[in-house]
Amino acid sequence: MKMIFKIARTELRNLFYSPVAWFLTIAFMVQCGIYYTYALYPVAKWQEVLQQNTAKFKDFGLSMTNGIFLAPDGIFSNVLQNLYLFVPLLTMGLISREINNGTIKLLYSSPVKVREIVLGKYLAIMIYNLLLVGIVGIFMVTGLINIRHADYGVLLSAALGFYLLVCAYTAIGLFMSSLTTYQIVSAIGSFILIFVLSRIGGLWQKYDFVRDLTYFLSLSGRTTKMLRGLITTKDLVYFLVIVYMFVGFTLIKLKAGRESKPWYVKVGRYALIALTTLIVGYFTSRPGYIGYWDTTATKSNTLHANTQQIIRDMKGEPLEVTLYCNLFGGGVSRGLPENRNDYLWTLWEPYLRFKPDVKFNYVYYYDVADNDSTLYKTWVGKSAKEIAEKMCEGYDIKPSLFTPGPEVRKAIDLQPENYRLVMQLKYKGKTTFLRTFDDATFWPEEQQVAAAFKRLLQPSMPKTIFLTGNLERDITKKGEREYSYHSLAKDNRYSLINLGFDSDTLSADTHDIPADVTTLVLADPKTTLSTTTMDRVQQYLHKGGNMLILGEPGKQQMLNPLLQGLGVHMLDGTLIELSKDEMPHMVKPFITHEATDLSQEPILTLLKDGLKHGEEDSMPMLMPGVTGLTFTTDSGYTITPLLNTAAGKVWLKAGALVTDSVQPVYSPAEGDSQAPYYTTAVSLSRKVNNKEQRIIVSADADFMSNLRQGGAFLSRSYYSWLDYGNFPIYTPRPKAQDTLLTIGTTGAGILKIVYVWVLPGLVLLTGTVLLIRRKRK
């Protein structure tokens, strides 16, 4: 052991007695200084401007730690991206210098063992790597000072990832240095090998036998999780076995110079180390054998406690996931074998962390929906089998991988899923679908996955019934005024069906309202409710059922008889709000403080936090055609306004309204009236049979239409409140605390000068003096 340290000390002395190490140190320091200060300075400048000129500015609302250190133009991202340029220059002479100078023969003839030579040299380079980490550490410490409540866990995790990566690079450089007497050849070889290991993860991914092995060997993305603050044993073991493999290769290469062995013995040694590396790496990367440590302050890399509890309830039996990939369907490229590891480790790893007993199946097929001739019009004159063969030729995959659609139909009906890429989950005999979506994310997010898991656990899901029979909004139609987008649209990740709700229609004129209804929806009836419908709805409300009632101006008389029993009344006429951009009936009421308690929707949470801290302005919601609501306090319900118009800016237009002509004029003589403000949506609650009954009444139904994206977060909040917060399953994260800098423009400017010019200059001066004195000696 003493000899290893002596060799390491000698090698370090040689490093710093050469200009290469000093040059790399200075270049690395300048690079870090530029990326840190040039990211810090603009933020400090804007913070100073906003603080001096904007009274409402509190903070940026975003993590400054991530923005300055981990953003695409941040210090860690760029340092890691350029690291491969430094390492080969550093390691190119570790062994090749000894071979070129002939000193390797002296080492061979000395009592020093080969492993002491190799380990000593690698220890020296590991110590130098600590110097690089120390340089990064200067900026980490500075960041902890410059950022209020900086997330030090992320910084430490990123620093560990940086150190492990540079140690892996230097192990590769050490081995390449042992293969040649020419240092430049060693450097080029290191570049090439690092490039190969960075790209090998994409090779042969179509083949089951080698897919996991090449994916494991890939250097690409190995530090991604650590940069986000997630340390896994899989990544730690990877770096350790890479170092073990290339240091071992170096040891075998140098041993070959001291002994005469048959070629197959030498090859066998290399193969043994490579095989050991693959076996250890493969088994330590299997689900159930991976340890996780989320170092972030907000635990942003870990499933929410709500989701974890659902997974804990799934005990006693494995979860079976079958991916159905249709060659003719949407999202096919994401489901092909070459993308299987991306599918497993991008989508499923967070869940495998808590439930490793998941069995994955894959079904590849080709099929089209009945009466859909689009595909055949594109591939004129070809059968489905011929089209599949040509598409396989384009994807460069074997046609035998795909099963004809009629055979798959015998086992499962995928036509309701439009034959796109979809997953079927199976647990204890129950099945449900987990869908993909044509948006930037594509794969389902935690909210959709948690809802699917819950479907497998619960005997029934919350049931939302939409009344029909009076020309109400239709949840099966895709017209701009209808309600399919937010209810039954399988291609909308935030529709009720993908968030855990079951939706159906019912005519109260012919059927009783079931007792197990979670929410009864009456959306804009255009004809008078029959006596039977009225009686059944009132009976449902009398028993304490929850309900969502949506009306429209001009049809107040259809709902007012029902609303009268609730103590609510829709005013006659249409609200007018004049603006330079919108038509006069486009009113923008504001979300009340009480409405922010409806759900844990992120927007409502942010709004609630802002209102809590004294911000005067709320968030406006566009309602295209709305009237006002009045209510009494003696109906037995606690009635709370959810949306109120701006004070003094809105008036009630009596009679018919023409929206595509000149702007209407306020005319009391024609029956127009004006109040200080108007309420356009209210919530009602009361205790019935030891249960809280909840009702929401809205004076506009268009805001939840397909044209208006189904009402977005507000409609989801309505359904959540009516379901007592059970669904959707929200996964809120704590607000980031590192949202403000503690440094101003002047200080950031001084840091730019110090870190980019002064500090590297001092290191340059120190290195120059040391090298000149060394040369004189």
pLDDT digits 0-9 by tens, 43-78: 999 999 999 998 778 888 889 999 999 888 888 888
- The token duo for 635 is 């109906």
Predicted confidence at residue 204, as pLDDT, reads: 64
Predicted confidence at residue 728, as pLDDT, reads: 96
Domain shared by 170 and 266, yes or no: yes
Expressed as residue numbers, the domain containing 617 is: 463-722
| Other beta carbons within 10 Å of 495 | 22
Distance, CA of 445 to CA of 442 (rounded, Å): 9
Boundary-marking domain end, from 457, 486, 514: 457
Residue 490 CA neighbour count, 13 Å, CB half: 16
pLDDT digits 0-9 by tens, 642-680: 999 999 899 999 988 888 778 888 989 889 999 999 999
In a domain? residue 300 = no
Domain shared by 155 and 33, yes or no: yes
Does the structure show a pLDDT above 60 at 614? no
Residue 776 pLDDT grade (very low, low, confident, very high; cuts 50, 70, 90): confident
In a domain? residue 618 = yes
Predicted confidence at residue 55, as pLDDT, reads: 79
Predicted confidence at residue 770, as pLDDT, reads: 85
Predicted confidence at residue 618, as pLDDT, reads: 83
Considering the chain, what is the average pLDDT of its residues? 91
Predicted confidence at residue 203, as pLDDT, reads: 66
Helix 2-16 and helix 19-53, axial crossing angle in degrees, nearest 10:
70
Domain shared by 495 and 545, yes or no: yes
In a domain? residue 341 = yes
How large is the average pLDDT for residues 112-124?
A: 87
pLDDT digits 0-9 by tens, 263-320: 788 789 889 999 998 889 888 888 888 999 999 999 999 999 999 999 999 988 999 9
Domain shared by 191 and 323, yes or no: no
How large is the average pLDDT for residues 627-633?
A: 94
Boundary-marking domain end, from 432, 457, 482: 457
Cα distances (angstroms) measured from residue 371 to each of 1, 99, 108, 374, 421: 77, 74, 79, 9, 20
Predicted confidence at residue 83, as pLDDT, reads: 81
pLDDT digits 0-9 by tens, 728-770: 999 998 888 999 999 999 999 999 999 999 999 999 999 888 8
Does the structure show a pLDDT above 90 at 376? no
Taking the CA atoms of residue 33, residue 38, residue 43 and residue 44 in that order, the dihedral angle to the nearest 10 degrees is 60
Distance, CA of 171 to CA of 247 (rounded, Å): 6
Q: What percent of the chain has pLDDT over 90?
A: 68
In a domain? residue 727 = no
Predicted confidence at residue 660, as pLDDT, reads: 77
How large is the average pLDDT for residues 629-637?
A: 92
Domain shared by 470 and 369, yes or no: no
**CATH number of the domain residue 469 falls in:** 3.40.50
pLDDT digits 0-9 by tens, 197-226: 887 766 666 666 677 777 777 787 788 899
Does the structure show a pLDDT above 90 at 480? yes
Does the structure show a pLDDT above 90 at 615? no
- The token duo for 520 is 């009864």
Which H, E and C letters describe 487-530, residue by residue?
Answer: HCCCCCCCCHHHCCCEEEEECCCCCCCCCCCCEEEEECCCCCCC
Domain shared by 7 and 139, yes or no: yes
Domain shared by 213 and 332, yes or no: no
Residue 91 pLDDT grade (very low, low, confident, very high; cuts 50, 70, 90): confident
In a domain? residue 517 = yes
The residue ranking higher by pLDDT, 704 or 376, is: 704
Does the structure show a pLDDT above 90 at 241? yes
Predicted confidence at residue 706, as pLDDT, reads: 97
Predicted confidence at residue 109, as pLDDT, reads: 62
Residue 193 pLDDT grade (very low, low, confident, very high; cuts 50, 70, 90): confident
In a domain? residue 414 = yes
Distance, CA of 276 to CA of 230 (rounded, Å): 26
The residue ranking higher by pLDDT, 166 or 94, is: 166
Residue 67 CA neighbour count, 13 Å, CB half: 20
Beta carbons of 494 and 443 less than 8 angstroms apart: no
Query: Collapsing DSSP states into helix, strand and coil, what is residue 268?
Result: helix
Residue 105 pLDDT grade (very low, low, confident, very high; cuts 50, 70, 90): low
Domain shared by 137 and 243, yes or no: yes
Domain shared by 485 and 584, yes or no: yes
Domain shared by 11 and 144, yes or no: yes
Q: Say how many domains are in the chain.
A: 3
Kindly give the residue spans of alpha helices, DSSP state H, lying in 55-182. Answer: 64-65, 75-91, 96-101, 103-109, 114-146, 152-177
Beta carbons of 35 and 74 less than 8 angstroms apart: yes
Boundary-marking domain end, from 412, 437, 457: 457
Domain shared by 431 and 470, yes or no: no
In a domain? residue 301 = no
Residue 150 pLDDT grade (very low, low, confident, very high; cuts 50, 70, 90): very high
Domain shared by 686 and 579, yes or no: yes
pLDDT digits 0-9 by tens, 514-560: 999 999 999 999 999 999 999 999 999 999 999 999 999 999 999 99
Predicted confidence at residue 166, as pLDDT, reads: 92
In a domain? residue 738 = no
